[in-house]
Structure 1
Amino acid sequence: MDSKWAMASPGCFALPEEQFQCTVCRQVFTDPVTTPCGHNFCRACLETAWAGAGAAEACRCPACDKPFTHRPEMSVNAAFKELADAFRRMASAPPARSAEPGEAACDVCAAAAASPRVGALKSCLVCLTSYCEAHLEPHRRVATLMAHRLIAPAADLQARLCREHDRLLEMFCRDEREPVCRFCTETRHRGHRAVAVEDESRERKVEKAGGDGGGGDSAS
């Protein structure tokens, strides 16, 4: 990918880096405001440029030199500020790590045809999507996404879905010895002993560790 282009949002929209730079300070926008002629500037940069003009005096756009009879009242462009802030965070993030063969890759980067494959940091069991460091950021910031369940990166999330109910296999039926979804526990597995998959996995690891330890003691 050309270094002059960057993914500006979690949706992986590619935009030129210049789109996020103030034409006055040549830095990524801070509190961007939009003039009536449609140009964006850092709020502080525009206030400095117009510092000599009073509220009732004419001033000009620093980009196109369009004159304004009266100094426009500027307010921060909230939507564009969010994009600029996201771009700043992604630009300062450490370089993406390439996925090893057989390792889960970021599905968002893959959809954007990123090459090489970018290694995933986490997989979301609600979105059924794996994310790299940059694309995981919304799950750490947006309230609704923060409630999603994240796990270690998994290469095949579809395999974690119940074929009957198309729901996450988040329970384990100890009677039938198989993973099930919550709908299964209310239908054909009703009344069975069901626990969270994580609990079953944890207990198996403890049992295995105990068995290995016991074998070592008897051998000594």
Structure 2
Amino acid sequence: MAQQGSLTDLEELSCFICSGLLKEPVDILCGHSFCMSCMSKHWDQESREEKLYSCPTCKSKFSKPRLVKNITLASLVEQHKKIAVVHQVDTEVQGVACDMCTERKRRASKSCLQCLVSYCEEHLQPHYGVPALKRHKLMEPIENLQENICSQHNQVESVFCQTCQKCICNLCQLDEHTGHNTVPADITKRQTELQTKQHTAQQRVRALEKNIDLLNQELRAINQSADKVVSETENKLRKLIEQKSRNLTEKIKKQQQLEVSRVQGLLKKLQEELAVERERNAELKEVATIKSYTEFLQRCSSVSAKWTHHNPPNIPVIPDRPSPLMYFEQVSMAVSELNRTCIKDFKKLVQAVTEVDVLLPPNPQSNEEFLHYSFQLTLNPNTANKTLVLSEKNTKVSSMKEEQHYPPHPDRFMDKAQVLSMNPLPPRCYWEVEWTGLSFYVGVAYRDIKREGPKSAFGSNDNCWVLDCLAESVYQVYMTFQM
């Protein structure tokens, strides 16, 4: 009933407009109460006819009254605020409450195993001053102390038997629980430990949920980015191929027309010359068959006079073509070379695809965090320069003065004392290097780094970088960018 009355009082002291406690409460003609500022603002925003004002609660209409603060109602609101503060303090008692407090419960600081009562600091003072009470055993507050009494020995169950998983008293510990694994039944301590573990678990849950959310965002970003790149790449490559193919086809067709026109012109001339030569040959053949000496001489004279001014051109030498494809053989060779170049460049594109940016954890700071990315490097003997010797299962390399007798291999460094690892490196990895001597250098390079010439040195091109370790702890980093 008290709770219901409290709720009723709270509703009567609340403003219908802002739903909070009344601030400078005012009454209007219908009897309802509101905050002065809420009522004024409501009437300023209300659309009115004939200068009538309405109540937000009952909708009664009347002429605008003068708003005056209700002193009595304001006093009730202040009293309610004070009672609410006291009630809030009482309900904020955490842990075990004092059994001796009557009106306002305070938090217990100790529980007495002889009195079977929990005391706050004020009611605990007699146990510090009265000689008879000084001998009582005090311990951390125990909730529901009366319920934690051993039915057999009538003592507080202040020990927890981990073997039997139950609370026992000190006499039980010496009797039937002898030799069992027992610990003090400090409920407060266990609750604190549990709260700490729960807080840690909640933090891990939030961290995992955050990471899962980030990874889901990355999945969506990866899929969207990949789909976009696939679409753009297909369009660009298709347009590029179509345009270049169209240009090449037009040039081939144009050259074809020129060559065909040239050959057809030569063919026409040769055909005309062939007709003339056939006519001449037929006439000479006819003269050769004449039997009459006189007629033969006459015809010879006329034929000779007829063909005197005819100077036949030299017959051009037309080379034999073993295959029609030879006419544009250079184009075919150029296309083949372009194909090889495209395949080489395409490998770089594929490599770039495998090097997409992914969401990586924060950069490691401690040695323990670095060890999570530990990577064992195994050296590739086929890449080792002839002045280097590998040992210890290809994990150690030594520099020698004399060249070694290694078999030829296209991956071997010929001019620089260098060697590559056997396996490619993951996106994030960590390794340690121990070295002795004057100096050495270690770096990261693409597999297609040159094997001969000055550009084969680590740090001399844009395919690698190198950390040069000199004597006296001097380190230098090299990398060359090609512009």
The answer to whether the superposition gives a TM-score over 0.5 is no
Q: State TM-score, norm by structure 2.
A: 0.20
Looking at secondary structure, tell me which structure has more strand per residue: 1
Higher relative contact order (CA 8 A, sep 6+): 1
Larger Rg: 2
